Copies of this chain bind each other. A is one copy, B any other.
Amino acid sequence: MQWAERYEQLLPKFKAQNKTALAKMISLLEDNYLQTWEIISRLHSDIQPKNSYVIGVTGSPGVGKSSFISRLVSFYSNKGQNIGIILIDPSSPFSGGAFLGDRVRMFDLTNSSNVYIRSIASRGAMGGVCNSIYDIIDVMKAFGFDTIIIETVGTGQSEIDIFYACDTTLLILSPDSGDEIQIYKAGIMEIADFYIVNKIDLPNSKRFLMYLENYLGSQNEDHKKVFGVSSIENKGFEKVYEWLESSREYFQNSNLKENLRKKSRVKNYLFHLIENFLEDYPLENQDTDSLKKDVIAFMCKKEGNNGNQN
């Protein structure tokens, strides 16, 4: 039981708020994906997880998500909160993770003692879904962050997983992104709980704000809010912070997403299992039918004899 030994070694430092131990605990999960559920379950019995507020930040590339988060987190940090940040890298299986470097550099927060940044790539050749998002959130809750912020780069599928995993979701929009129409078409407007118009220093921002408020007003939904900010001029973050804090309990206690989240979590775990099995599978002259049977046999063996009756 190699993972259990590593876990026991890490635990005291993890409890002592050591960030290297936090990073290693996440890596432990990634290295032992077959034991994910056991590790999380052990962790949450050893340490009462904090009821952290999980905020998703999404939006098209180029709207300024990273600079927005950077400003917001400075604000939170100054208020004494501990913040965990998860950056989801949509790196293609072909180009690798080059994209992430750009974003990490945008954060000058890494030196702040109460901020932790973890970047995860939506993995490898066999799939793009970010499988481990729920696990990382669980580890971060055990570590005791007040707030956890998850950033994705605004392409379809990852949005939906974020929506399930987060208590609330912010959509960042920019008057100069030129993709308003795409946004409406792709339907990512619907997943957000509130909207940040970044770059309100730009001349055409007022018109864009009005347009957006009209659109959302006509949708007539509760709890849909619009805020204008400028990351460059560091304006508007107080209001965003206040609204987030005042609605913290509302979103945390909302059970709307509970069932979706359970299903999403199970689905992600099983997909992860299948992808990893297939990735390592030495495929030689085998037809798809035998391959399918091998995957199923593996899953039944892996999950079947684990206290399961019938």
Contacts and interface: CB of A to CB of B under 8 A. Distances in A.
Interface residues of A, number: 62
Contact of A296 (B61, B188, B259, B299): B299
Contacts of A99: 185-186
Given A128-B156, A157-B128, A190-B95, A267 B262 contact: no
Nearest to A186: B92
A281 B61 CA distance: 35
Interface string A272-310: 001100110101001111011101110110011000101
A241 interface: no
B292 A296 contact: no
A295 B92 CA distance: 29
B304 A187 contact: no
Interface in A85-132: 90-96, 98-99, 125-129
A4 to B, nearest CB: 19
A160 interface: yes
Contacts of A296: 270, 299-300, 303-304, 308
A299 B81 CA distance: 45
Nearest to A306: B293
A190 B92 contact: yes
Contacts of A266: 278, 288, 291-292, 295
Contacts of A286: 262
A12 interface: no
A297 B303 CA distance: 9
A292 B267 CA distance: 8
A99 to B, nearest CB: 5
A72 interface: no
Given A91-B187, A92-B187, A187-B91, A291 B263 contact: yes
Nearest to A303: B296
A90 B288 contact: no
B308 A297 contact: yes
A43 to B, nearest CB: 15
Contacts of A244: none
A199 interface: no
Given A94-B188, A126-B264, A262-B291, 7 more contacts: A90-B156, A92-B187, A93-B160, A127-B267, A266-B292, A266-B295, A270-B274
Per CB-CB distance, the 7 closest pairs between chain A and chain B, nearest first, are A95-B187, A92-B187, A94-B190, A300-B300, A128-B157, A296-B303, A94-B187
25 contacts: A37-B289, A61-B182, A90-B186, A92-B160, A92-B187, A92-B188, A94-B187, A94-B190, A125-B260, A127-B129, A127-B267, A157-B157, A262-B286, A262-B291, A263-B278, A263-B283, A263-B291, A266-B278, A266-B292, A270-B296, A292-B303, A293-B303, A296-B303, A299-B299, A300-B304
